[in-house]
Amino acid sequence: MDLEFLSPVNPELLEEISGGNSQTLRNNLEIHTESAGLPELENVQIALVGVKENRLSEEGESLLHFDKIRRAFYNLYPGNWHLNIVDLGDIEKGESVEDTYYALQNLVSDLVKKDILPVILGGGQDLIYAQYRAYDNLDQMVNLVNIDHRFDLGDAEQTISNHSYVGKIVVNQPYNLFNYSNLGYQTYFNSQDEIELMDRLFFDAYRLGEVVNDISLVEPVMRDADLVGIDLGALNSAVLGSGISPNGFEGREICALSRYAGISDKVSSFGLYEYTPEMGKRGDMLVAQILWYFIEGVNYRTNENTISARKEFIKYQVPIDDDVLVFYKSPVSGRWWIEIPFLANVNTKLKRHTLLPCSEEDYKEACNQVIPERWYKAKRKNEV
């Protein structure tokens, strides 16, 4: 695994916080330093990496570093975690944006193959395209969940940007995307054409108000995700200490969503994007806490995707019209799934998507003869 393209964490930052409490995260994770080099990856579960790339941001390029986030994160205390965490340092800007994409794509792919969960700190959110492309050779269809005020579909015919990368994911080969879910979109930031396209593609979209009113609504969506990205523009500007949007997620809400992403047994890569060093101490601390809550979630995973765990599930059958919906409930976590009929003539990459996470409310509504919308969309995509 070639990691020579990674630059170490700023030694001045490490010197500055070297006298801190021995119980903080600074002293409970291995860090890529100039003196010690890269940390060993044996028995590591989580790897943090920064990506200093924002040249394709429609808001303009800016000088990017992650020292302020690292300072805030390193000074937090870990929870009762049983995880080995490393900070691999940063991917510097390549000669071209494509070079940066290539480095990130290969790093994420190599880490996922080693069952190490990459946590990406990035500039432009177009980096999700490289995060997604890391799954090209992993023989699976993937579900992308994006916490964002925009859909970022854009015009797939135009050059990729931080507002159009999802369109490129949809149209560019190889086709690995099974589902795209947006959490927290704000209608006035999205054209009606994009809203209608999301519907035609059977993608999931949850307005900011829906999610804020009931955060638990999106837990099944996170549970079905393979990769998750957060656009920090989805937070309101008062929370971040910068930005232009007065509406958006509050700190508690984004941390709850981050924990849902972490606790999902399927999520294998996680990215925080659209960071700028101008966010101020409040924004830096919030980003650090988002990272903390994600790791907290990973620590409490129950590994219910295994065959042995699913053998213990309780099965429920609900007749609706000409269908019989099959639900499963975990006796350990109390979480629910619904079965999607697998079609033998479709790509075998879809086999792993035959159990769709759902809520107990979905089961209750099915008992009242209401078909869950997510089941209907997943079934339609399976038939295409």
Residue 193's domain is classified under what CATH number?
3.40.800.10
Whether the predicted pLDDT of 51 surpasses 70: yes
Instruction: Count the residues in the chain.
Output: 384
Domain interval for residue 253: 6-299
Q: How confident is the model at residue 55 (pLDDT cuts 50, 70, 90)?
A: very high
**Final residue in a domain of this structure, among 243, 274, 299:** 299
Q: Are residues 318 and 292 in the same domain?
A: no
257 contacts 147 by C-beta, under 8 angstroms: yes
Q: Give the least confident one: 65-74, 150-159, 268-277, 293-302.
A: 150-159
Q: Are residues 133 and 252 in the same domain?
A: yes
Q: How confident is the model at residue 351 (pLDDT cuts 50, 70, 90)?
A: low
Whether the predicted pLDDT of 195 surpasses 60: yes
Closest by CA position to 71, among listed 310, 345, 330, 285: 285
As a whole number, the mean pLDDT across the chain is 92
Q: Tell me what the mean pLDDT of segment 158-180 comes to.
A: 93
Q: How many domains does the chain have?
A: 2
Q: Are residues 66 and 181 in the same domain?
A: yes
At residue 325, φ and ψ (nearest 5 deg) are -80, 130
In a 13 Å sphere around the CA of 227, the CA atoms on its Cβ side amount to 29
Token pair of 357 as six digits: 């996470």
Q: Give the least confident one: 169-173, 189-193, 348-352, 355-359.
A: 348-352
Q: Are residues 324 and 238 in the same domain?
A: no
Q: H helices of 55-152, where?
A: 67-74, 97-113, 127-133
Closest by CA position to 348, among listed 140, 173, 136: 140
Whether the predicted pLDDT of 352 surpasses 70: no
Q: Are residues 288 and 320 in the same domain?
A: no
Distance CA 357, CA 338 (A): 6
* pLDDT, tens digit (0-9, with 9 covering 90-100), for 303-332: 898 888 888 999 999 999 888 999 999 999
**Final residue in a domain of this structure, among 247, 280, 299:** 299
Q: How confident is the model at residue 22 (pLDDT cuts 50, 70, 90)?
A: confident
Q: Position 45: which residue type?
A: Q
Q: Position 247: which residue type?
A: N
pLDDT confidence of residue 287 = 97
pLDDT confidence of residue 343 = 55
**Final residue in a domain of this structure, among 245, 279, 299:** 299
Distance CA 146, CA 230 (A): 6
Q: Position 150: which residue type?
A: R
Q: Tell me what the mean pLDDT of segment 243-257 comes to.
A: 92
Token pair of 24 as six digits: 């903080």
At residue 338, φ and ψ (nearest 5 deg) are -125, 140
At residue 12, φ and ψ (nearest 5 deg) are -65, -35
Q: How far is CA 214 from the centre of its chain?
A: 20
At residue 80, φ and ψ (nearest 5 deg) are -80, 65
Q: Are residues 197 and 319 in the same domain?
A: no
* pLDDT, tens digit (0-9, with 9 covering 90-100), for 65-115: 999 999 999 999 999 999 999 999 999 999 999 999 999 999 999 999 999
Q: Which string of DSSP letters, residue by residue, matches 168-184?
A: HHHHSSS--EEEEEEEE
Token pair of 342 as six digits: 């697998």
* pLDDT, tens digit (0-9, with 9 covering 90-100), for 280-296: 899 999 999 999 999 99
Q: Give the least confident one: 42-51, 122-131, 208-217, 236-245.
A: 236-245
168 forms beta bridges with none
Q: Are residues 197 and 325 in the same domain?
A: no
Q: Tell me what the mean pLDDT of segment 338-365 comes to.
A: 75
